[in-house]
Amino acid sequence: MTTPDVLADPRSFYAARFVKATVGKLLIAAFRVRVIGQENVPATGAVLAGNHVSYADPALLWCIAPRQCHFMAKSELFEHGIIAWGLPRLWAFPVKRGQADRAAISAATELLKRGELVGIFPEGTRKKHDSMGEAQQGASFIAMRAGVPIVPVGIQGTERIKPKGSHFMRFPRVTIRYGEPVAFTDIDEAAGDRKRRMELMTTEVMRRISGLLADENNG
């Protein structure tokens, strides 16, 4: 079943809304989530691009997003069990990692063109250290394809939820900062062809994410 078919099912819509209003609010309270700059999220489609250090990052970003936020999840999670049943009902859709997954790209593009939010972590996977990892260009490519901006997001505190070597989960305070959007049209056409402009867009998004994290460290 394709992503649009799942989202067209009102049971999926209401299930996600129910989880967000119950479990979502509990998570926000448990981690005392502080949200800064949410006014930077456009009223219509946008990619939310954040740093990624914890499994909690997509869950908390999903919980505090001002409207429906869809995430790509590795395709293996959609193969069996309750997770495979639940993910589409929580606005997630599969992506085959390590390759250009045309189905996932098309799904993300359609969702964005419909005015919804899609969360993408440009680093591609979790980083087990404080420094930013090398970014992939998927977020810039999808944003350019859909004609929407990228909103950089700095997530801080989730790295302390389950530190390396710890057997127990902790409940640190988490801060999520939204930065000003970056649009493909902001990148000067004189900079080169589309590929080069996507590279520059990715670099600018990562620079802004680093700046958001630095603001939290200094503030």
Residue pLDDT, tens place only, 2-46: 444 445 455 567 888 899 999 999 999 999 999 999 999 999 999
Report the C-alpha gap between 43 and 26 in whole angstroms. Answer: 26
Phi/psi for 131 (5° steps) reads: -75, 155
Mapping DSSP to helix (H, G, I), strand (E, B) and coil, where does residue 36 land? strand
For residues 134 and 123, is the Cβ–Cβ distance under 8 A?
yes
For residues 117 and 69, is the Cβ–Cβ distance under 8 A?
yes
Each domain of the chain, given as residue ranges in start order, spans 3-218
Neighbours of 217 (CB within 10 A): 9
Q: Among the residues of 43-165, which ranges form H helices? A: 56-64, 81-86, 102-113, 138-146
By the 10 Å C-beta count (0-12 exposed, 13-18 middle, 19+ buried), 196 is classed as exposed
Q: Please report, for residues 193, 202, 206, the alpha-carbon distance to residue 199 in angstroms, rounded to integers and kept in the order given.
A: 10, 5, 11
Report the C-alpha gap between 78 and 76 in whole angstroms. Answer: 5
Query: Between 3.60.15.10, 3.20.20.80, 3.40.1130.10, 3.40.50.300, what CATH number should domain 3-218 receive?
Result: 3.40.1130.10
What is the reported pTM? 0.88
Chunked into runs of 10 residues, the chain (219 residues) has average pLDDT values of: 47 81 96 97 96 92 94 86 86 82 90 94 66 75 96 95 85 97 90 89 95 78
Q: Which residues are within 8 A (CB) of 216 and not within 5 positions of it... i.e. 6 or more apart?
A: 154, 156, 175, 177
**Which pLDDT value is given to residue 96?**
84
**Which pLDDT value is given to residue 79?**
87
Report the C-alpha gap between 104 and 94 in whole angstroms. Answer: 7
